[in-house]
Amino acid sequence: MGITSGLCAISTVFLSLHACNTSIESALSAVLPSASNGLIEFLSKNWPVVGITSLIWGVVLGVVVRACHRQKRLLQKKADDRAHEMYRLNVILEEKQEEISMQNEQLHHHRENLEKLVSERTEQMQRAVKKAEDADRLKSAFLANMSHEIRTPMNAIVGFASLLNSEDIDELERKEFNEIITNNCNALMVLINDILEISLIEANQLHLQKEKFDIHPILSELEYYFRMNNSKNLEIVFDNQGEGSLEMVSDPIRFRQIFTNLLNNAYKFTEAGSIHFGYEPGEKGTKFYVKDTGIGIDETEYENIFNYFHKLEKNNNQYYRGAGIGLSISNKLIEMMGGRIWLHSRRGEGSIFQFHISGSETYTPPVSKLANSQLQGRSAALKNRTVLVAEDDSTNFFLIEKILTREKMQVVWAKNGHEAVDYVKTNRPAPQELIVLMDIKMPRMNGINAAKEIARLCPEIPIIAVTAYAQQSNKRDLLEKNFSDYIAKPLRPKTLIDVLERHVQVSLES
């Protein structure tokens, strides 16, 4: 717009100049002489008019040149601005292209990861489905196996208990029936204890009670027990018998349980030959073992042999009783004790199970034997001793009464904790005159509160817990709550008499 206005102004000036120039030329034509001298004289006289015309043309040209330069600069600036803008847009475009390229690469990477993730998840789902199917099969097999393992001894118990009421059986048959009932009760108790052990292990409620103990008495006792119950006439040998002693800092109850499970397993699968067990000291610790000449195990079974409820009978025509729990529990206990278990076996060539646990050292203690005089007269000391039985179940009391009266002991029945406390309050017996057998779960007053009150009245009276709370943690808790000793149900006569004799002997020596 500014250029157009300037050009219009210049055109106006040119028109004015042109008109002025025409007027001058007319004037010159009128007065111009024909002679050159006259022209010189004319120019001399009229020079101001010619100078003004030239000046005006110079000014006009200067204005035009400056306008052109200004327009050039404006055009150059616009060109530079547009070039800068184009450069900036080009940079932005390159950045966007790079961003799009990175996004494409990320999308490609994510697609690959997604495919990999889908593949992994699919594999996980397949494994989970297989595991669930295996667990379902295992549950079904477990329930079927448990039903069989429970009903089999129960059938013998119920059946032979009914036969005991027959009048036409002689004393020898009665004794045989009693032995069968006892054996099947023991088998049922082992099964129940194993199931409870698994529950405690899986719930992380099984706690080790570490103490210093000598393993030789435990292994010697196991040798004696399995020899006494050796109906197959196997050779059962504790190889380290008479070699000194091995002392260990661990849980003696769980140590015994591990060896008992391994020996039971060896005895079950060995029909002829021998079972040897013991230990081998070494630089890296003591290695324990149980070796048999039984049916052996395929190497393909090594991985599963310590799984819960795994059994070997599927490859054999012979059926072996058991729930497939013992080895699993032993494996878990050994791991809890800081060790591991392994085996070497071949089908038809026997097996050897080996394990090690932490915290053992070898030593040879002096041999000390109990003098015969110390062992004499213990059973006689029970005679006429009064036993207060706090038990709410009449059948359990009847059993205890029959056991104790055979030892010529006096039995008093308290049907709950409150009656037991009242008896002690009323009679105020001396510690040497009374022993209390206390059930825990009773009406009105439970055994724990009753023991607390009796201990307050007569602190020296021994109070023995007789309870169905049979776990080691239960025993530890009760021994911290005014109880002198502990007997787990089901009650065994020999165990009851041994415990009573021990406390009577302590009272006699004190």
Domains of the chain are: 207-363 (3.30.565.10), 374-509 (3.40.50.2300)
413: tokens are 């029945």
- Which of the two residues, 273 and 467, has the higher pLDDT score? 273
Query: Mean of the pLDDT values across residues 74-100?
Result: 88
**Average pLDDT value for the chain:** 77
Q: Flag whether pLDDT at 371 surpasses 50.
A: no
pLDDT recorded at residue 437: 92
Sheet harboring 245-250: ordered strands across?
Answer: 211-214, 245-250, 360-363
Query: Mean of the pLDDT values across residues 24-49?
Result: 50
Tell me 417's DSSP state.
H
Q: What pLDDT digit, counting tens, does each position of 46-63 carry?
A: 555 555 666 777 777 777
pLDDT recorded at residue 471: 66
Out of 62-71, 90-99, 422-431, give the one with best mean pLDDT. 90-99
For the entire predicted model, the pTM comes to 0.52
Tell me 325's DSSP state.
-
pLDDT recorded at residue 290: 93
Q: Flag whether pLDDT at 160 surpasses 50.
A: yes
Q: Flag whether pLDDT at 36 surpasses 70.
A: no
- Which of the two residues, 290 and 459, has the higher pLDDT score? 290
pLDDT recorded at residue 321: 57
492: tokens are 């065994």
pLDDT recorded at residue 308: 64
Tell me 24's DSSP state.
H
- Sign of the alpha-carbon dihedral angle for 263, 269, 274, 280: negative
Interatomic CA distance for residues 448 and 262, integer angstroms: 37
Residue 380: pLDDT band by 50, 70, 90 thresholds? Answer: low
pLDDT recorded at residue 449: 92
Weakest-pLDDT range from 5-14, 123-132, 284-293, 384-393: 5-14
- Which of the two residues, 183 and 144, has the higher pLDDT score? 183
- Given the structure tokens 């004393």, which residue do they identify? 171
Find the helix or strand (DSSP H, E) in which 362 lies. Answer: strand 360-363
